[in-house]
Every structure is written in C-alpha cells, then in structure tokens.
Structure 1
Amino acid sequence: MAGNSALALDHVGLCARDPAPLWAAWEGLGFALSPVARQSGRRGPDGPVEPFGSGNRCAFLRHGYVELLGILDPALFANGVDRFTARHEGMHILAFGMEEVEGNLARLRRGGLDIPGIAWLERPVEPGGPIARFARLPFPDAPEGRIQLIRHMTPDLVWDPRWMGHRNGAEALEGAILAVGDPAATTARLSRLTGLPARPDPVAGFRIALPGAAGAAGPHSPAMETWLRVLPAGALDGVLPGVVPPTLPFMAGLVLRTGDGAAAARRLLAHLPLRDAPGGGVMVPPGHAGGAAVVFR
C-alpha cells in the first residue's frame, strides 16, 4: 500500500449515550462483538495520554469493522460522544484507511486545512490486554460527524479471530450512505480529505470510490473497492426504504457484504421488519440497529 490518499473504508461508528442497549441490539443482529474497551488518548498532538470516558465494542470483519461507542464514565472527557448523541443516537463516524500518515498530513495542509498534527488514540483490546494504537487525521469541524483518515499501528491486535465469526454471515464493510442538505459541499469536503475524485451517483448526489488494496482494512483484508454515497435527503428513500433523516446531515446507513448473499441474515433476522434493499440484499431499519440502517447483501 502506498500513496497520499485514502485506500478503503476502514470503519464506521455508531454512538449511544448508554451503550448497553446498542451492544445488545447488535448482538441480536448476529454479531460477535469484541470485549468492552475503555479509550484513552491525547486531546492535542502534544498533550499527555489521559483516560477518556468513552468506550466501545466492535464488530470486526475480514475487511473493516463497525465501532459501537458509548459513554462509560460521564465525569471524564467523552471524546465527542456527548456532542454526537445530543443530535441523535446513531452513526456519526466515518474512517478511511491510509498508509502514509505524514504524507497525507502534508497533502491536507498544502490544501489549506488547519490540521494541528497527528491525533493518537489507544485502547486495550480487552480488559487487561495489550494496547492497540491508532494514528488519525480528523477532518476539522466536519458538520457530518467525525470524519477521519486512520492508520492502525497494531492491526493484528485489533482484528482478532475470536471476534470475527458472525452468525449473520457478514464479512466486509462495503459502503456507507449519507443524506445531506448540500451534497456538492459535503462531497467536496470528503473528496478533499480522501484525496479521491467524486462522480455522480446513479440515483442522485455523488459517489466516492475507494480503490482498495490488500491489507487496507485489516491485516488479512482482500483488495476490494469500497464506496461512500452522498445523497440529497429526498433521494434517501429510494436507497434505504422508509428511512427518514432525524436531522441533516445524517449518516443514514451502512452496507455489509456477506458470503452467502444475505441468506443467513434473512433467516436469523426474520422476526424483524426487514425491507428488501434496492440493488439487492436485505435492510434492517435504523430502529432495530442503533439508529442506522444496516444492509446485508
């Protein structure tokens, strides 16, 4: 992997003030979640490492993962979770995998972005376990949520086979869908951050394709294209049926590739009000997935 641009959709993140119901909902969707991990990090590039009040569990896939984030100690710095959940509970994080941290930082600064430096984050992979470390380049003040480039410094610690066998057959994070008031403005920001061009979406708005590379979103991830769709609010129902934005901008949903054409997901989740997803697959409505639509295909 090389180059000063994003390579793949690394992960998306859902936020809840109380994470326990969110974690339970995703376990009910057939995911094997990682243990609870408390976060810590530096608030600024030169600040000390300090414990945060936020913590997560994750659904790790062969390619990418889904982070389920909440507040474990409201007395400590919440790492933005309080700000996100004040808008609504649901998806607020988009992270794109990169290889060249310093090269991408230089590219973004040349483009006029006020990025103070590399933001470091760390957390134990499980209570008392080894520490996973991450280098991040967050897009400053993005109204859509936390949008960032990320490089995993310890990927083999994060993608542990113990947490990657999902009863629903999910294997890869394939894409994410946003509904926004001004698709052109949002897409321009995302294209600037990723260093990748945007093209018209076949429904409406725009689409950014990330080229992929072996190991771009997990130590054993295949080379596969991932994507981001940025749609006007009026087009969302044609992509995620019945989903209504609670506010704009809105990270509306994610698409997971399965190994069986979503057959296991359809059987396992037949008790839920599933919807057929345009373009193939089956959709779990946001109300049953922590505030974001989840498409299995």
Structure 2
Amino acid sequence: MTLVFSFLFVSTFLFSQNERLIIGRTTGKLSIEKKAPIRTFGFTNSLSGQVTLPGSEIDMKVGDSINIDFWNISQGNPVSLYCRDIEFVQRTAENEVMTKKEPVHHMEHGFYSFVAQKAGTYLYYSPENYPFNLQAGMFGVIIIRSKETDVLPAKVLAEVLWCSTEIDPIWHTDAIMGTAYDTSNKPVVLPDFKPQYFLINGQIATKNKGLQVLANKKEAVLLRLVNAGLYGNEIQFPPQAKVRLISGNEKNLTTFSGACKVQLPPGECMELEVFLENVSDQEKIGYHFTDPVSKKISYNAGIPVFY
C-alpha cells in the first residue's frame, strides 16, 4: 500500500515541467566486454528504468528553477544528492527549507531544488560514503544552457557528452555492495582502489565510436567533458583541431606541441567547441586516465575523431 501511494504521489509531483523524479537504486547491472555483468548503483527516472552511467540527466536553461523528488529505493545506507558547483536547497515534504541537510533513508523521499544561475555542465552525485556511492554509479549530469542564441559563433550540429569513470570489480561484489541498511550511515569498509575498467559513458573507453560524423566534419561540435571518476583525465586533440573553451576552468586547457590538451581533475567538467574541418579522416584523440598517486598514465585510449 505504501509503495502504491508513493508512486501515485511522485506521478503527481512530475506534472510540471520543472519538477523531476530521480530514483536511487542499488540493483543496476553493467555489461563490460563479454564477461558477467557487474553490479552497480545508479539514478533512474522510473521504477522500470535501467541504470546507466551517467544516470538521470537534468537539462535546463539559465534562470530556470527545478524541484527534484529524490526517491531512495536502494537497500543499502541512506543517500543524498550533491553538486560541487550548485547549491541544492533541501526541503521537507511540507515544503519547508531544512536548515540542516539530511540523507534520505530507504523508501523515503528527499526534496531538493535549485535555480540555474550559470551556463555549463555539472556533475551531481550521492556524497554519502564518499567515494563509494560515486564509484558504484550514483552520479548524473546537469546541463545548464545559456538563454542567448549567439554563444557559439559557429553552427553546432552535434552535442557530445563524454563522462568518464573507472571500475574496480572488487568494489562491486555483492559482499560490499550488499551492505545492510544502517540508520547511522556507517561508512562501507573498502579495499584500496585498483580499477581494471576505464569507461566513457559506461563503456570501455576504446569502444567510443568517435567525436563527429565524417560527413559533417565542417560543422563544429560542442563537447561536454565530465570526470566522474577518481583518476585524472588527459585529453589530447590532433594539432589541426581548433578548440575553444565554452565553460570550465581555463587553466585545464593548454597547448602542447601545437595541439590542444585538456587536464581534467576528478569531479570537474568542461564544455568545448571543437572545429574539425582541417583534421585528417584517420586522426585520433588521445584519452588518458592518470593514477592520482603515481601521476602515471594507467590507461590510454585512442578515440577516432570521425565515424
């Protein structure tokens, strides 16, 4: 009876366009290569929705406000929503602002809101038991678009999101991910993080099909980069590519031997306008995952520019 009532409640809550339902769950599965699926956590928009990495995307314009009903149906510890660069306001079911933010317990709802103030791409995630929930898959992307129509000087046909993360299969075993519910939110005990899989949009990075359709190489691409992992990302473009920063830390974009290079630390995001007209058809983009301790490259993917 409680489940039916909650479902009817959130269905009503979603009637307005500026209201969103996000469901936190611990029953996701990710197929990597041809091996057995790896268990993941994640955010979805419906009870039947499949967990993806990244999870539920929020797309809005500057000046818009949004109300989020976060329904925690996960079996583990309480969770919540957080974004480093956006202040989430948490409210009670009676719409009263909570002076102290609280995690959301199993089968309960948390109510969040914010106003889109600055255009850009942002990472949001569950900060509880950091970095476990984040690495388990409880993260998503917020896209805030500018109201102006002339932000990009060139015509952009394609928008591409590359959201990176890593997976250590030991962290994804039932013994760890099946931690029993604990009202005290006791941290999950974890072994050292030793990732074996390096992903972009939930797939092995080397399986990325490319940045732009070859037939449209004269058209600019808006590339959104999100580092949802614990390793640093280094993205190196071919020398013939022209790259312009739209949003993000300008210090992360440098020129090296005539080529543009991005250094994207964990948790950071960037938006780039990329011009590929003068790039040869067979060129690749170097996408490196760097160990945060040794500072050495742990994984290197060559992603085709065109497909």
Q: TM bucket by the smaller chain?
A: 0.3 to 0.5
TM-score of the superposition, structure 2-length normalised? Answer: 0.32
TM-score of the superposition, structure 1-length normalised? Answer: 0.33
Higher relative contact order (CA 8 A, sep 6+): 1
More strand per residue:
2
Structure number, greater radius of gyration: 2
